[in-house]
Chain A
Amino acid sequence: MRYAKRIIAFLVFVCGLILLLLAASFLFMPKNNMKEFGMEEVSANGILGEKENTVDVLVVGDSESYSAVTPMQIWKEQGYTAYVCGSSGQTLDYSMTMIRRAFEKQKPKLVFLETDAIYRKVSKSGALLTKLGNYLSVFRYHNRWKSLSWNDLKGHAEFTWTDDYKGYEYNNAVAPCKNQDYMIPSGTAARIPELNRLYVQEIRNYCEENGAKLVFLSTPSPVNWNYERHNGIAALAGELSCDYIDLNLQNEQLQIDWSKDTRDKGDHLNHNGAVKATHYLADYLNQTNLLTDHRGDPEYEKWNEALKRYEAAVSSAGNGQ
């Protein structure tokens, strides 16, 4: 009898705790996808404000992804809609979260996974916390206690904001890189941590289940990339039957000039570099025959409007330098 009472008390306690955490999650969940509402990674989460089923290509990864791929250029050149859901220091557990979040309203046909994230160590505690945050958003947005308002008590979340840059981070600073011959052929492959491997597999399975093709993408970066890493990703791509594009080995076509096309000595591309890398990717997307040119489609008129604003902003920023 005493044990039964204790078990019931424990269950009541756990149920009460879950209810409290759910209530707190409702309270702490940003009610819109803008910074003023407490949204994290605002640019990446701009996809939540995009019209339903309008995004063709998704890009996830760390800062390399949002520095090298500018979706507005893909739109301009080929008429495909792409969105970069990359974020600074993004680990694969968060890439998975971003993919799931994007797929709630979108049906992209192709997902680029920037490969620098595959070598970024995923901490088990961090991954667990990300998972917990997926179910109970109080764990992700708890820091919003500093900016909570009465409005957080009422109403549902409604995401209305979209980013004219579509997740891309414009930066045209120049800090030349001296090391230009960084892709020295090697027979060895850099080891991918086991947990990361599992996450890549999970991403691949998720994409497959949702009718999207997963492509590994290594954007140019003498600081972060080398032949050993290329070999590691090539082997993984072979195992998982995924396409792999390593832009570090395509410089004859890309013509990246490391004295002009990097903003931080070869760590990331600047806008000049991003334009070159994106042009290559736009051609690749065209060759896949998976996507349709939407430029003449009135449903996508907002993308044409966004392109005008994007070009004006880029042009004025470029002139300002």
Chain B
Amino acid sequence: MPSISSYFSLAYLGLLLPLTIVVYAAAPQKIRRWALLIFSWLFFWSISGKLIVYLLFSILSVHHIGLWLSMLQEEGDRLLKAADRGERKALKAQCQRKQRMVMTFGACLHIGILLLLKYGPFFVLNINRVFRALGLHVNLTVPSFALPIGISFYTLQAVSYLFDVYRRKIPADKSMFRLALFMSFFPQIMEGPICRYEDTAGELWEAEPIRFQNLVFGAERILFGAMKELVLADRLNLLIQNVFTNYDTYDGFVIALSAVCYTLQLYMDFSGTMDIVIGSAQIFGVTLPENFRRPFFSRTISEFWKRWHITLGTWFKDYVFFPLSMSKPLKKLTSRARKRLGNHFGPLLSGSIALFAVWFCNGLWHGAGWHYIFFGMYHFCLILIGNMIEPLVLSVTGKLHISRSSLPYRCFQIVRTAVLVCIGELFFRATGLRAGFAMFRKIFTNFTLATFRDRTLFTFGMDQKDYLIVFIAVLLIFVVGLLQEKGIAIREKLAGKNLAVQFSAYYALVLFIVIFGAYGSGYVPVDPIYAGF
């Protein structure tokens, strides 16, 4: 099996995926699920080699802990049934305590492995810094671990499974292989989406036959994703690499432009990957959750995060935000604050504590670096400020007779949100927090259009014609997004047209990618950005 560097590689699109489809289609129903599992493990082995043992360990332990929880729940139920009414309350608390301990053990085990492998060096490095600042001559050895690709994704799936079993939302799975397929399904293991057991495990294990419509729709989506990556994300790569690596040699205008380009690249890379992932799964009759819902149509930062990396946001909401805000101390704080600060600011105070935890984790999840933590805190502050000033904005717009649903006001909100997102992404992509601040400062202190006027702007990795292609491709994606926003299902519409129209659309898209794709000599494809998180 050749090593696969990304879902856009020829090794994946030209070999692994077609081979899996052929084997899956040819196999009888009972064998299909095994074919999926074997190809998933082959895929993981090809990207992570012997580090596959981490995945196998996770599967084994999650399965075992799930069964353990289930056994405790059954035993608790039996004891509660047999117990006297007076003893039930104490017995119930005792049983729940046991179950909570097992669940906590399982969650800590998995998150602990993630913390150790991904953040161990970062933590030790910072502990050493603290020692140095305190004048202590202690220097801990910074560990170095090989990180299996996708660990951040499958770990969150594992933890969500344990939580859901604990909450009795789902029964513990007796079949280890069904659970294994849920955790290792090859199209989504490298970059998500972060699936829930109840949504995908059954469908995967069912292993429906390949249907013509699914095959066509899946292939269309893969093609669209490839266009985003090859025409846009890869084309922008040279400019972004140049500017973010040597930011001190560029002026504020080029830096601002690069921040916009990076935001675009990140979106095209990640959403393009999701198109390939979801399209691949659709071919096998599996509906994976959407990770993007046209985020640049968002009017607020809160809305943006409901449309960008949706499955990560809902994971943090369900497994960090709600448990924290429903915890006893925060409930108490809410009721006290409500009395003192009123109905708007009271709940906001305790909600902000939970929100802080969510955004701290969100920042850290993206990588072991202070600029990632800053990125999380930046969005936390924006959301918090947005919540705080909402009554004020309502009253000001009301007094000025500005209709909040009017097109100009909505456009203003959309542009404002996009600008704030681009600023956040500037810090996110910067080589460090100091570099991020230096770049941000330059936008205001060294803004000049000189590079545009003397045309040197077109020598930094993209010429005029490259910018034109970027504009055309963005326009195409914008129009598709606009139609989707209006509820128009493009693929279904196309399926209703005659073959000549369908073929023309496919040919146009294929030729657009082949001719305008940024591949081959002179281009450096962007590394799968989210696979590194």
Could you tell me which A residues sit within 8 Å of B by CB distance?
6, 9, 12-13, 16-17, 20-21, 24, 28, 40, 123-125, 128-129, 133, 138-140, 142-143, 145-146
Contacts and interface: CB of A to CB of B under 8 A. Distances in A.
B465 interface: yes
Interface stretch (B258-266, B394-402, B503-511): B503-511
A1 B492 CA distance: 23
Interface string B10-39: 110010000000000000000000000000
A129 B521 CA distance: 10
Contact of A143 (B2, B9, B10, B520): B520
A9 B511 contact: no
B514 A139 contact: yes
A121 to B, nearest CB: 11
B515 A145 contact: yes
30 contacts: A6-B212, A9-B499, A13-B503, A13-B506, A16-B507, A17-B506, A20-B507, A20-B510, A24-B515, A40-B521, A124-B3, A124-B9, A124-B11, A125-B9, A125-B10, A125-B11, A129-B10, A129-B520, A133-B520, A139-B514, A139-B520, A142-B514, A142-B516, A142-B519, A142-B520, A143-B520, A143-B521, A145-B516, A146-B463, A146-B465
Given A9-B499, A129-B10, A140-B520, A124 B2 contact: yes
Contacts of A9: 499
Nearest to A88: B521
Given A124-B9, A142-B516, 11 more contacts: A17-B510, A20-B510, A124-B3, A124-B11, A125-B11, A138-B515, A139-B520, A142-B515, A142-B520, A143-B522, A146-B463
Contacts of A128: 10, 14
A44 to B, nearest CB: 12
B5 interface: yes
B148 interface: no
B347 interface: no
Interface string B494-528: 00000100010011001100111101111000000
A250 B24 CA distance: 58
A138 B14 CA distance: 18
Nearest to B525: A125
Contacts of B212: 6
A13 B501 CA distance: 12
B511 A20 contact: yes
Nearest to B504: A16
Interface string B437-473: 0000000000000000000000000010100000000
Contacts of B521: 40, 140, 143
A17 B463 CA distance: 30
* Smallest CB-CB A-B distances: 6 pairs: A125-B10, A124-B2, A128-B10, A146-B465, A125-B9, A142-B515
A147 to B, nearest CB: 9
Q: How large is the interface on B (under 10, 10 to 19, 20 to 34, 35 or more residues)?
A: 20 to 34
Dominant SS among interface residues on chain B: helix
A136 to B, nearest CB: 9
Contacts of B515: 24, 28, 138, 142, 145
Which interface residue of B212, B520, B522 has the most chain A CB atoms within 10 A? B520
Of the candidates B5, B507, B522, the one having the most CB atoms from chain A within 10 angstroms of its own CB is B507
Contacts of B463: 146
Nearest to A132: B10
A24 B514 CA distance: 10
A6, A28, A125, A129 — most chain B CB neighbours (10 Å): A125
A24 to B, nearest CB: 7
B329 to A, nearest CB: 53
A40 B506 CA distance: 29
B507 to A, nearest CB: 6
Nearest to B464: A146
Interface in B207-260: 212
A9 B14 CA distance: 21
Contacts of A143: 520-522
Most chain B beta-carbon neighbours within 10 Å: one of A20, A124, A139 = A124
A146 B506 CA distance: 23
Contacts of A12: 503
B506 A21 contact: no
Contacts of B14: 128
B378 to A, nearest CB: 36
A181 to B, nearest CB: 32
A6 B516 CA distance: 30
A17 B14 CA distance: 16
Contacts of B10: 124-125, 128-129
Contacts of A129: 10, 519-520
B517 A142 contact: yes
B143 to A, nearest CB: 28
B509 to A, nearest CB: 11
A17 B507 contact: yes
Nearest to B465: A146
B519 to A, nearest CB: 7
A138 B514 contact: yes
B352 to A, nearest CB: 47
Nearest to B463: A146
Interface in B20-76: none
A146 B522 CA distance: 14
Nearest to B503: A13
Contacts of A40: 521
B358 to A, nearest CB: 38
A321 B5 CA distance: 46
A204 B514 CA distance: 32
Nearest to A144: B515
A17 B3 CA distance: 29
Q: Which of A6, A9, A123, A133 has the most CB of B within 10 A?
A: A123
A133 B519 CA distance: 12
Nearest to A25: B514
B445 to A, nearest CB: 35
Contacts of A16: 503, 507
Nearest to A140: B520
Nearest to B11: A124
Contacts of A6: 212
A125 B229 CA distance: 15
A17 B503 CA distance: 9
A200 to B, nearest CB: 18
A16 B507 CA distance: 9
A9 to B, nearest CB: 6
Contacts of B510: 17, 20
Nearest to A133: B520
